[in-house]
Structures are given as C-alpha cells and as structure tokens.
Amino acid sequence: MVLAMAVPVATGYSTIEWSPTGEWILYPSAEGVSMISPDGSEVGKLTDRSLQAYAFSKDGKQVYGIYLNTTGDGPQWQLRSIGIKGDSDKMIAALDFPVSTSTEIGFSIHPDGKRFLTSIAKWPYDIWMLEGFDPPRPKTWLDRLLSR
C-alpha cells in the first residue's frame, strides 16, 4: 500500500520506525519527525525537532530520540522523550559523544527500557600548516613559450 499522504525527507541515514502497537509509522519530514497511520488515514507531526535517530518505547506511547542541539543553550547531544500525543517533550540525559561526531545511525532500545544502542559516525578533521618550502610560481607567457 502506498501511503501518499506521507511526505518523508531523505537524509543521510534516516530511518522509518513502526510502533510496537502497530498504530503509527514514524518518518523524517521537512517539519522534523512526522507519523502516519498504517492505513494512511491519519497524518501528524510528532515534533519539529530534527531527531538524528529515534525509536518507540516498548508500549508505543513515547518516542526516544537523539537530538543535536545547535542553539548553544544546553547540552549539544541530548536523549529526549516525546509523547505520541504531543503532550510531552523532555530531555532525559545529556549524551557525551566525541566532538568529531557528525551523526547517529540507528537506534535500538533494550527490552528493559533502561538502555539503548546506537552507532555514531565521526569524522576527525585535521588542519595542517606547512612551512619551509617554496610555493610554485605561475609561469609567465615567456616561460610557457620557451618551454615548448
């Protein structure tokens, strides 16, 4: 069945998640994270936060997600809990990822609901300064003519 009312946005490692109760399908959208019923009759926005990775709670009443906070107010990486009915959005914990972390890939909650598993992509970048060499000079028209 094609869910024509869903308008997902493809990102680098975006995922689609089905709730354990079978009531909702989560997907990344231009507005953040949206959800749609399996028959396509109901569509809604879960949050306008752009969650890097997310998964439903065991009872399907909440979504846990990793949020990259770029505002400078609060921790940079946050584990958040968002109620399916839009009644709550709270930070559960600050996540201590390496500074070079660029994104998360996948999200899985342990059956006890107290732990989760994710993979991070980190791209360490270096800045090199080179000294003590003569940079190449651009050839003049005369140099080009004589090198023939």
Q: Cα separation of 51 and 15, whole Å? A: 11
Domain count, the chain: 1
Give the mean model confidence (pLDDT) for residues 125-139.
80
The alpha helices in 57-108, defined as continuous H runs, are none
Q: Is the pLDDT of residue 12 over 70?
A: no
pLDDT band, residue 123 (cuts 50/70/90): confident
Q: Is residue 39 part of a domain?
A: yes
Asked if residue 80 is part of any domain, the answer here is yes
* Kind of pairing between the strands at 62-68 and 77-83: antiparallel
Q: Is 68 among the domain residues?
A: yes
Domain that holds residue 135: 17-146
Q: Which of 46-50, 72-76, 118-122 has the lowest mean pLDDT?
A: 118-122
Average pLDDT over residues 16-32: 90
| Residue 78 domain-assigned (yes or no) | yes
How high is the mean pLDDT of the chain? 86
Question: In the structure, what pLDDT confidence band is assigned to residue 61 with cuts at 50, 70 and 90?
Answer: very high
Number of Cβ within a 10 Å radius of residue 37: 17
What pTM, to 2 d.p., does this model score?
0.75
CB 36 within 8 A of CB 43: yes
For residues 48-70, give the mean pLDDT.
91
94 lies in a domain? yes
CATH code: domain of residue 136: 2.120.10.30
Residue 59 sits at the vertex; the CA angle it makes with 12 and 115, to the nearest 5 degrees, is 60
